[in-house]
Structure 1
Amino acid sequence: MASRSLRVLGIDPGLTRCGVGIVDVAADRSAVLVHVGVIRTAPDAPVEERLAGVARGIRALLDVHEPQVVAVERVFAQQNRHTVMGTAQASGVALLLAAERGLPAALHTPTEVKAAITGYGSADKRQVQTMVARILRLDAPPTPADAADALALALCHAWRGRAPVAGAIGAPTPAQRAWLEAERLARR
């Protein structure tokens, strides 16, 4: 890792496909791809086995790549309660593993990520994939979308996050400030 860069592990949580992406981002906002992939689990396996599989995959990335911070997509309510439960469970595993390693972790909404990467909070998946490829100087957009989303999360965090580590770039966005205030009030 280059000096004065921030290594971020982005995680797009899911039980069937958990997107993971690691980038090194310099103070000038230039970024280099370190790793991208998807942790897969069998949809018909018991949930505890699927969560263990996600945990194994994330642990391996933490061991090999030693990120300084973990950025996870904030879970939002969706129409399908089953999907949101699996996503929330995988997100919890990622946050737990970061805490066990003493790594700061941050949550970013899909809208924040899209706005950071494309300049438009309602961008579609293809637009995000295309911009991630341009930013990281890749020959083709990363696939599947879960992997591209994980890279976008990592880039968003490095550019706009409130990473409490040396080399963090940017200040919290208005949406992040609103979430922080809501979380502060909820703790009362």
Structure 2
Amino acid sequence: MRVFGIDCGTEVTGFGVVEWAGSKREPCLVCKALGGIQLPKAKSLPIRLELVYRELRERLAQWQPDVVAVEEVFYSVNAKSALKLGQVRGVALLAAACEGLPVAEYAPLRIKQSVVGYGLAKKEQVQFMVQRLLKLEELPQPADAADALAIAICHIHTAQTLELQGASR
């Protein structure tokens, strides 16, 4: 299984590709790609959204994932920021849909719980655990890419659990 994780952001949208290799008894997580799509502040919002869309479509076509995993919308004190984030997220969902890919959505607490073991973990803790789980030589950068990898790992963990539950019935 190959999962394309997306961490939507208004300044940087992170992405990461994680593959589940190995056997059911000894799964192996492999990082295939990671990066961040830098959104130029000087450009208008429609131009930035088009950039995210184009870049994600290119990466999805390049990596041919089985599924796209995205963080669910969280509620923010600042309505304007939440609206902009929602627009970026909508573009990410559109890019996945245009590639004909299923989308899985996870709450931030669930992602952190799945990767770190603690739902209120800090960004640094997520980066550290992603590095460990994927056996990376360095902390994944930018932090948004680490979050995207964490989202992909969360989906793989969830899929493994569901498969094991189905096998035990």
| TM-score, scaled relative to structure 2 | 0.90
Out of 136, 139, 142, the position equivalent to 1:138 is 136
Structure 2 stretches of 5 or more lacking a match?
A: 164-169
CA distance in 2, matches of 1:170, 1:83: 35
Q: CA RMSD in A?
A: 1.4
CA distance in 2, matches of 1:69, 1:146: 19
* Greater Cα offset, 94-103 or 53-62: 94-103
- The alignment covers a number of residue pairs equal to 160
**2:31 match:** 33
Q: Which has the higher contact order (CA 8 A, sep 6+)?
A: 2
Kept in 2: contact 1:15–1:54 (CA 8 A):
no
1:74-153 aligned at under 5 Å gives the runs 74-153=72-151
In the TM superposition, what is the alpha-carbon distance from 1:85 to its structure 2 partner? 1.4
Structure 1 stretches of 5 or more lacking a match?
A: 1-5, 161-167, 173-188
In the TM superposition, what is the alpha-carbon distance from 1:170 to its structure 2 partner? 2.1
Kept in 2: contact 1:73–1:109 (CA 8 A):
yes
CA distance in 2, matches of 1:97, 1:17: 16
Q: Alignment partner of 2:136: what SS?
A: coil
> Are 2:14 and 1:14 equivalent residues in the alignment?
no
Q: Alignment partner of 1:122: what SS?
A: coil
CA distance in 2, matches of 1:103, 1:170: 21
1:22-61 aligned at under 5 Å gives the runs 22-26=17-21, 27=24, 28-61=26-59
Q: Deviation per CA, 1:135-180: give whole Å up to 9, x if none.
A: 11011111221110000000001111xxxxxxx42239xxxxxxxx
Residues 11 and 112 of structure 1: is their aligned pair in 2 closer, same or farther, counting only changes over 3 Å?
same
**1:170 match:** 161
CA distance in 2, matches of 1:100, 1:59: 8
